[in-house]
A and B are shown apart, each in its own frame.
Chain A
C-alpha cells in the first residue's frame, strides 16, 4: 500500500523565520515520484517540485529547498526567510509506477506566516 504522512497539521511562524514541512511516504515501488504542491486560499494547486526516486540530490529554488532522504522515506520542504505570501496549505504527494498514474496526497500542512 502507498501512503503519505504529513504529521504537521498547522504551523505558524513569524515572517523571516525558516520553516520545514515534513513528508514521510510509504511505497513498495522501486521507482516512484514525489511532489510538493502549494494551495493558496484561491484553491488552485501550484506545482512546486517533482522528484524521482533515483535522484536523491537535494534541490534549491530561491527560498525553497527540498531534502530527499530515501533511507528514512522522507521528502521534507524548507522555506527560508518566510514571507506572508507563503501562507497556504502545502501538500506532499506520491505516485508509483506500477499500474495506474494515481497520486496519493498527504493530508496537507497549513502554513501561516505572520507579519
Chain B
C-alpha cells in the first residue's frame, strides 16, 4: 500500500514551454501533497505544500507564478513549470501525506526535467 506515482518520469522540453508533472496517490487519499526539487548532488528542497481544495503554500524564494500547483482531488496534485528555462532543469519529487496509520509522507519516484 501507500504508492505514489509521478508522470512523466522524464521530460525534455524547449526553453519557454510549459511542463506539467502529475503526482497521484494510488491507494490512499492524500489531503496534503508536497513538491520538492533536487539539484545534482544536493538535498531535497521543499518547494510548496499543497492542500486539497485550497491554494498551495510556497516556501520562501519559490516563485508561485512560475511553479503552478493544483490539488484538485484527494489523489492528484499537479505541478506546472511555466515558461521553463535551463535553470529549471532538475529532479522534481512529490510526496503524499497520509494521516492514517503511518502518519508520514510517501514519495513518488521523481520526474527528471531537462530544459534545452
Spell out A's residues near B (CB within 8 Å). Answer: 33, 35, 37, 42-45, 47, 50, 91, 95, 100-103, 105-108, 110
The CA of A107 and the CA of B44, in the complex, are separated in Å by 8
Give B20-57 interface residues, CB cut-off 8 Å to A: 32, 34, 38, 41-44, 46, 49
Given A102-B34, A107-B43, A108-B43, verify A35-B104 contact (CB < 8 Å): yes
Cβ of B58 within 8 Å of any chain A Cβ, yes or no, is no
Q: Are A50 and B102 in contact (CB under 8 A)?
A: yes
Given A50-B104, A101-B105, verify A44-B110 contact (CB < 8 Å): yes
Option from A33, A43, A50 in Cβ contact (under 8 Å) with B109 = A43
Given A105-B44, A107-B43, verify A43-B105 contact (CB < 8 Å): no
Option from A33, A43, A107 in Cβ contact (under 8 Å) with B42 = A107
> Could you list 11 examples of A-B contacts with CB < 8 Å?
A37-B107, A44-B110, A47-B107, A50-B102, A91-B43, A101-B97, A101-B105, A102-B46, A106-B43, A108-B43, A110-B41
17 further A-B pairs in the complex, CB-CB below 8 A; given A43-B112, A47-B107: A37-B107, A42-B109, A43-B93, A45-B93, A45-B107, A47-B106, A50-B104, A91-B44, A95-B105, A101-B49, A101-B97, A101-B105, A102-B49, A103-B105, A105-B44, A106-B43, A107-B43
Q: Are B107 and A100 in contact (CB under 8 A)?
A: no
| B: number of interface residues (CB 8 Å) | 22
Option from B44, B95, B104, B112 in Cβ contact (under 8 Å) with A33 = B104
Contact partners of A110 in chain B: CB under 8 A: 41
The CA of A50 and the CA of B68, in the complex, are separated in Å by 31
A102–chain B nearest beta-carbon distance, Å? 6
A35–chain B nearest beta-carbon distance, Å? 7
B26–chain A nearest beta-carbon distance, Å? 15
Contact partners of A43 in chain B: CB under 8 A: 38, 91, 93, 109-110, 112
